[in-house]
A and B are shown apart, each in its own frame.
Chain A
């Protein structure tokens, strides 16, 4: 795996203190990129950044609240000051929760939509500002979900937010194409991360499942490749979308879900 196809690239990954974000940040560094490890949880981000540096990679931890424009601006400034430019941004920070359709309250909607929807919009705008100024194009990769392609009754507001990510991806591709900035999304299925551990507890708390792991097993039984996903399954696509190999791909939301959803 030790190729250097991202050598000299400056990347940042939001929500990189855990889960898929951590795995992406580490893979980018392995392929030679300098990586901004951005997260609300700065201690977690520092830990990931130092793990990358221990492996001989280049990383900087960036505190970032994606719903706060000033914080996003500061994060991008920090990456540019550290590595000289911003070539690739992964808008990966997101939150999820299990809530039955009839139980979604206004505050639930606002919290989920703020982080997953508005947070992606703000990060795209601020990253675009920087990339346009650099004048060398760039790449934006957003984290959507199978829930960005299909509505599920146990998380209607989460699905709405991930559909929003797909919409922003398409709109961004049209807005920034002439600047040679590509915008794509990837759509994981059931990935075993801390987020799913949290959802699993919520399934049980709401009486939807009875034992730990049950909800996940039931979801995963629909994946053609017959197993739950790990962040490692996602990083190959992340790396492809960050590399020059995907230069003619834009506006796409690519499923990486073991064959659960085909549209």
Chain B
């Protein structure tokens, strides 16, 4: 592969599994030293895989709850202390909630979804906004969602949390542009991940149709006719982080097979 991020220092949250793990691997493949962060201890396995595949990688694993300010500040501090800088931040950690009518949503669900998806992103962005300006460069990519660009019934909190990420991305882009720091989001559509399959299974059950029928209905709404792969999100992240993305900031790039155009 290429070396478009040679010796840059990257930090990816939610890197133990799914899209985050694939993003971390792809950044390492492009030459970056990658710090993998996750609440799950499995993040150690992801880091071990990365070290085996890319022995030059000087990154490490961090067990972190992104909703906790002090843990996040320590993680960003450790990254800069051990690797000297922070060039690329990818805020990928995110959670969904089961299909729930607004009337039935609990305070706990609110705190969990808004906490991880928005406050978590905010926490890591804030810590990074304290170190990147001194470097005079940096790139932040927040993972949004097409659910952050449009409302969906029974996913009110998830949609709101991702919309918050997208608007916050724009505000931060405006603030950090004078320091040469670019801030963008990548908005996946329906992705072939456990989160997506689980929610299809759940919705099929509620609507009393088969999983296959549910899957077919979803595919019919996507011009490219299929769910996306985590690798396709990772390649957009690499593009934004590389020199090739140098004139983009404040954007929310849709990687969704055409299911939404704005």
A258 touches B249 (CB 8 A): yes
List 6 A-B residue pairs with CB atoms under 8 Å apart, sorted by A's residue number: A224-B249, A236-B242, A237-B244, A248-B257, A249-B253, A262-B251
Name the residue on A nearest B180 (C-beta): A225
Q: Given A236-B244, A248-B232, A252-B254, 13 more contacts at CB 8 Å?
A: A3-B2, A178-B223, A180-B224, A236-B246, A245-B238, A246-B236, A246-B239, A248-B224, A249-B255, A251-B254, A258-B247, A259-B173, A262-B173
A178 touches B225 (CB 8 A): yes
Q: Which segment of A36-44, A98-106, A155-163, A169-177 sits at the interface? A: A169-177
Indicate whether B207 reaches chain A with its CB closer than 8 angstroms.
no
Name the residue on A nearest B167 (C-beta): A262
Question: Within 8 Å CB of B177, what residues of A?
Answer: 224-226, 259
B262 touches A174 (CB 8 A): no
Name the residue on B nearest A260 (C-beta): B250
Question: Within 8 Å CB of A263, what residues of B?
Answer: 262
Of residues 116 to 155 in A, which have CB atoms within 8 Å of B's CB atoms?
none
* Distance from B165 Cβ to chain A, minimum over Cβ atoms (Å): 14
Separation of A132 and B252 alpha carbons in the complex (Å) = 31
The one of A170, A239, A249, A256 that contacts B247, using a Cβ cutoff of 8 Å: A256
Q: How large, as a class, is the contact surface on chain A? A: 35 or more
Question: Within 8 Å CB of B262, what residues of A?
Answer: 263
Of residues 173 to 204 in A, which have CB atoms within 8 Å of B's CB atoms?
173-174, 177-178, 180, 182
Separation of A253 and B260 alpha carbons in the complex (Å) = 11
The one of A178, A239, A250 that contacts B244, using a Cβ cutoff of 8 Å: A239
Indicate whether A10 reaches chain B with its CB closer than 8 angstroms.
no
Question: Within 8 Å CB of A240, what residues of B?
Answer: 239, 244-245
The one of A229, A239, A255 that contacts B251, using a Cβ cutoff of 8 Å: A255
Number of residues on chain B facing chain A (CB within 8 A): 38
B250 touches A245 (CB 8 A): no
B248 touches A248 (CB 8 A): no
Of residues 36 to 83 in B, which have CB atoms within 8 Å of A's CB atoms?
none
**Chain A contact residues, CB within 8 Å of chain B:** 3, 5, 170, 173-174, 177-178, 180, 182, 224-226, 229, 233-237, 239-240, 244-259, 262-263
**Chain B contact residues, CB within 8 Å of chain A:** 2, 170, 173-174, 177-178, 182, 189, 222-225, 228-229, 232, 235-236, 238-239, 242-258, 261-262
Separation of A250 and B258 alpha carbons in the complex (Å) = 5
B239 touches A245 (CB 8 A): yes
Separation of A10 and B225 alpha carbons in the complex (Å) = 25
B258 touches A177 (CB 8 A): yes
Name the residue on B nearest A249 (C-beta): B255
A250 touches B224 (CB 8 A): yes
Name the residue on B nearest A224 (C-beta): B177
Q: Which of B173, B242, B246 has the most CB of A within 10 A?
A: B246
Question: Within 8 Å CB of A257, what residues of B?
Answer: 247
B223 touches A262 (CB 8 A): no
B255 touches A248 (CB 8 A): yes
Separation of A235 and B177 alpha carbons in the complex (Å) = 21
B173 touches A249 (CB 8 A): no
